[in-house]
Chains A and B, each alone.
Chain A
Amino acid sequence: MKSFANVNARDAKDAVAKLGQPNAVAVGGGSDLLGMVKEHLVEPDVLVHLKSIRKLDQVSAKAGEVQIGGLITLDTLSREPAIRSRYTVLAEAAESVGTPQIRNAGTLAGNVCQRPWCWYYRNGFPCFKAGGKQCFSITGENQFHAIFGGGPSFIVHPSDTAPALVALDAKFRVTNSDGERTIPAAEFFALPRVDAARENVLAQDEILTAVDLPAARPHTRSTYHKVLDREAWTHAVVSAAIVLEMDQQVCKSARIVLGGVAPIPWRLPKVEAMLAGKPITPELAAQAAEAALEGANPLAKNAYKVPLTKAVVRRTLLSLATKA
């Protein structure tokens, strides 16, 4: 591990200023970043600590909207009553992350901004994510890689909270040297064909400071379903974040976002449209699941994700729609 200096940010502006130094990197809980430093995947000279910024770890409500500080830990977030009851999908997503240790250290912003866990990248292969010019998974061990939106890199976005935030139509507040900008969650994440080295639109000296959730509409229910190959301590094999606005048995509107299948949280607008205005019957759920996987483009070793994801969409839709 290369040595580095640690500095504590006083506030968001100060953090951005400090990130302006050469080779400075922002750190929240460090649960992702420190591992990467140890592996020489990033070699910063300065770590700018964001946890020292006061009040950025809280949930506040105003006019029905909820604002979540980016530095809230995943554990706190998952226990927050307002989130549990009205934005269940987010609480469940936060709760599904890794292990209790990771949830105690890891922050929401760090979760959203974590780097891919593709084993080529993490093992030091000079791939797109490491500044190289190829994706090793295409012809290699791609069982955990993308079936949608891949190319030139085939990573899957690893964050559990990201699909939930996109499903909730959250807005990301970003601080930079000019002040603040707000980006809809869906536009925050960027496909590799936009920039194969990155997963989102943040510039090097920008930080994610908070997340705004729109007021929860009445009769809205939501859930996060994560398929794991171990009961804990693992990223999603695939996952589904679903938000349904119901009118009795009828689905007024739906938002469905998949995790573990694409380099970004993968929203399914076509399927959402299919569901709007209809009661969610087993038949409709099955049709939705079929439609969800249209256009999937599996690699040599991840074709199993297609039936798996279908099952997840169908099952999660049905159980959420019929939930008392």
Chain B
Amino acid sequence: MNTTVVGKNLRKVDGFKLVTGGAAFTDDVLLPGMLYGKILPSPYAHARIKRIDTSKAKALPGVHAVLTYKDVPRVPHTTAGQAWPEPSPYDTYLLDSKVRFVGDRVAAVAAESRALAEQALRLIDVDYEVLPAVLDMEAAMDAGAPVIHDEPDSTKIFDREHNIAAHIRREIGNVDDGFREADFIFEREYRTQRQQHCMLEPHVTICWLDGDGRLMIRTSTQVPYHCRRQVAMILQIPVSRVRVIKPRIGGGFGGKQEMLLEDICSALALATRRPVKIEYTREEEFYMARSRHPQILRMKMGVKRDGTVVASHLQVLATTGAYGSHASTVQGNTGSKVLPLYRAPHLRFECDVVYTNTPVAGAFRGYGCPQGFFAQESLADEIAYKLGMDPVEFHRKNAIRLGDVDKLSAQLGEGKEGLPRVIRSCGLPECVKRGAAAIDWDRKRQSLPARAGFVKHGVGMSCTMQGSGIAGIDWAASFLKMNEDGSFFLQVGASDVGAGADTVLAQIAAETLGVSLGKIIVTSGDTDFTPFDTGAYASSTTIISGGAVKKAAEKVRAQVLGVAAKMLAVPVENLACAKDEVFTTTKPRKSVSMAEVALQALYQEKLQIMDGASHYNTDSPPPFCATFAEVAVDTQTGRVRVVHLATAVDPGVAINPMQAEGQVEGAVTQGLGFALSEELMLNHTGWPMNPNFLDYKIFSAKDMPKLTTILVETEEPLGPYGAKSVSEVPINGVAPAIANAIFHAVGVRIRKLPIRPEDMLRALYEQQPELKPEEALVTQ
């Protein structure tokens, strides 16, 4: 494509401010009279508050408010930052008389200092009736298990008696017939853990009332508009009385696709009529925010002798924790975005998402896919091995391709029927080819395991996909207006959460308007000053918000050309714009600068050049990814080191390749932790054991393998300038590629994440030295 701004490695529009420490983030402001809010977490996994006495806390000088369930409206809602009407159960309350996990809200205080607020919390006297708790998702549906949501006013819960927040069953073709057609059937169980986002900036919110008494919410969120709607509903005030301001965000990864502190912080601001700030500590972030849904996945695949997949059946049991935020939707993706990777005509997905008295799960980069792909891609590797096929060949044979229609997506929409997915661009074969080359696949598959010594090397791979926005639901608007100097204000509801959306959207506007990037000034994510956007999630921003920007820019360009046509006395059709000027495409060459056009419009024609546009898609084009890993397994200590990780991604056209690569590298880093080291551990009473960075092991710089990142660009007809998405898909394939590489290295299959040294050692001792015969290969 012949572009001058799009596709270029331009610097982030907010980069200077960020690296020079400008007032960028939520917490960078200090409002006069600001109070510090703090939430009292439940020490019990499941309890009823029999009596709560706040008098001592209230009497402490410097304490301005203490709120309990008695002081706030009781409005069932979901904290999931989703488009209205949210498909998630309305099972959450601002404050409640029942607590459902260790860390659940009991009360909230606002005081003149953080220390005072902490002190006040300790002065709140609570009598709990401790209830039996259910922590194990496999026991949650049992008869006689404690019912976590026994309150009558919660709605949209699938089966509250059995703690089932959501249930899904979808099928295309006939899976039972499919298995009858198969020559071999493989079935395995996989388990994934509770992973936390560990974004650099914890959740933080500052609320105050402006001069008109309107509620201002400055907050670290991915979803300013959903947040505004939800806070208004929960506090029973009109939406018009609420403004949500999203400053720079220090990472969200899905954890901020959630209305999490905004409601309680607003309640404190309204109660005290003073600015109030609540900021989670790192410890609170671990168990009082959100995490990835732990799942138990039973994956069954039927294949022909030649390796053709005919049927897949995935059964998932997942826990959403104590509240159903994103329960059905994350798990829906575990089916809809994973199973269709193979072209099997018969697919079935079944899932129960259960409540347990554990920290709440929510949206997290990959949104259900890392779990699903761990199962599917591990099993695929096992099947290929059993059939004597190279996994690369297995994928070549079975993977979805250009022109295919994925019918499962049509059945698994966001909480309702979705839309069929048509593959209009697909770089997957090329991703596999280039990824394999980068890791030296053909040679290493042959030579590596033979290496002597107690450190064994192996290589493994996986193929994955994602979506780009939620078809038919995600939408965005943008607005552009021109300034005297030929620059433009771009207003978007889109939320740059650090991934670089402001830059990408400005690049799209600049390209379309024919101006340089510096001529676009972006304002984003402020509900008073920017138009609507569903938010930064589901890999939607570039394709959906970018689509809205392109449309608005096209309209504005038409206005620019209209004015220029008059100035140059040529027909509009003969004009184009580039490099900050409008010029004739016919001889003789004549031109006016953008600034001249702007001056003409503003002062002669009395015309503000401006326009806006809205945009949505009825399809969600998948980005594709092939992940190749080389590992070194120390068979004596169980330590698995990743030596090299090569990730080849098809993001459509990369609007800013440098940023796209950054997203890939960030995603695989989280994928590495998911595969090998990260797990939020709870003890048998539901207490988080490792809510800190010493015990919860994210990858450190020293742990990082050599990374190779390859962008395999394709042109997506539904995307602005051919773009799809990039930020989520690379996380999906890391764990299975590593597990498969481990098998290649030492002949041990690990089906439970994370693979810590102790897990690796245990598996080695169970499965080594002699490989156990694989019982699962059932010949019919």
Contact = CB atoms under 8 A, between A and B. Distances in A.
Given A119-B695, A123-B687, A304 B703 contact: no
Interface stretch (B214-222, B386-394, B631-639): B631-639
A229 B756 contact: yes
A308 interface: yes
Contacts of B118: 1
Given A1-B115, A304-B762, A227 B757 contact: yes
A141 B699 contact: no
A229 B757 contact: yes
Contacts of A139: 684
Given A119-B689, A308-B637, A311-B637, A230 B699 contact: yes
B702 interface: yes
B591 interface: no
Interface string A211-238: 0000000000000000111111111010
Interface string B673-688: 0000100010110011
B694 A233 contact: yes
A308 B115 contact: no
Contact of A141 (B636, B638, B689, B691): B689
A230 B638 contact: no
Interface string A1-25: 1010000000000000000000000
Contact of B700 (A125, A140, A233): A233
A143 interface: yes
B421 to A, nearest CB: 39
A38 to B, nearest CB: 9
A102 to B, nearest CB: 10
Interface string B693-714: 1110101111100000000000
Contacts of A307: 636, 761, 765
Contact of A308 (B638, B681, B693, B701): B638
B758 interface: yes
B477 to A, nearest CB: 44
B690 interface: yes
Interface in A108-159: 117, 119-120, 123, 125, 136, 139-141, 143
A125 B683 CA distance: 12
Contacts of A141: 681, 683, 689
Contacts of B683: 136, 140-141
A315 B636 contact: yes
Interface in A76-130: 117, 119-120, 123, 125
Interface residues of A, number: 29
A262 interface: no
Contacts of A228: 639
Given A119-B690, A307-B765, A231 B700 contact: yes
A233 B700 CA distance: 8
Contact of B637 (A227, A230, A235): A227
Contacts of A71: none
Given A119-B695, A229-B677, A140 B636 contact: no
B637 A234 contact: no
Contacts of A125: 687
Nearest to A144: B695
Given A140-B683, A234-B694, A307-B765, A229 B639 contact: yes
Which residue of A125, A136, A139, A230 has the most chain B CB atoms within 10 A of its CB atom? A230
Contacts of A229: 639, 677, 697, 756-757
A143 B637 CA distance: 15
A251 interface: no
Interface in A222-260: 227-235, 237
Contacts of B756: 229
Contacts of B636: 307-308, 311-312, 315
B694 A117 contact: yes
Interface string B115-141: 100100000000000000000000000
Nearest to B43: A124
A230 B757 CA distance: 10
Contacts of A235: 694
A230 B694 CA distance: 10
A135 to B, nearest CB: 13
A113 to B, nearest CB: 18
Nearest to B697: A230
Given A230-B699, A232-B702, A308 B761 contact: yes
Contacts of B454: 311
Contacts of A136: 683
A228 to B, nearest CB: 8
B758 A143 contact: yes
B697 A140 contact: no
Contact of A231 (B115, B695, B703, B761): B703
A40 to B, nearest CB: 9
A123 to B, nearest CB: 7
A230 B677 contact: yes
A119 B689 CA distance: 6
A237 B757 CA distance: 10
Contact of B761 (A117, A304, A315): A304
Nearest to B764: A307
B60 to A, nearest CB: 15
Interface in B611-652: 636-639
A288 to B, nearest CB: 15
Contact of B689 (A123, A227, A230, A308): A123
Contacts of A304: 638, 757-758, 761-762
Interface string B743-770: 0000000000000111001100100000
Contacts of A143: 758
A304 B636 CA distance: 11
Interface in B699-738: 699-703
Interface string A283-324: 000000000000000000010100110011001000000000
**A-B pairs with lowest CB-CB distance, top 3:** A311-B636, A231-B702, A304-B758
14 contacts: A119-B689, A123-B688, A140-B684, A229-B677, A229-B757, A230-B677, A231-B700, A231-B702, A233-B694, A234-B694, A234-B697, A304-B762, A308-B758, A311-B636
Interface of A: 1, 3, 117, 119-120, 123, 125, 136, 139-141, 143, 227-235, 237, 302, 304, 307-308, 311-312, 315
Interface of B: 115, 118, 454, 636-639, 677, 681, 683-684, 687-691, 693-695, 697, 699-703, 756-758, 761-762, 765
Given A141-B689, A231-B700, A232-B700, 18 more contacts: A3-B115, A117-B694, A119-B689, A119-B690, A123-B688, A125-B687, A141-B681, A227-B637, A229-B756, A231-B703, A232-B701, A232-B702, A237-B758, A304-B757, A304-B761, A311-B636, A312-B637, A315-B636
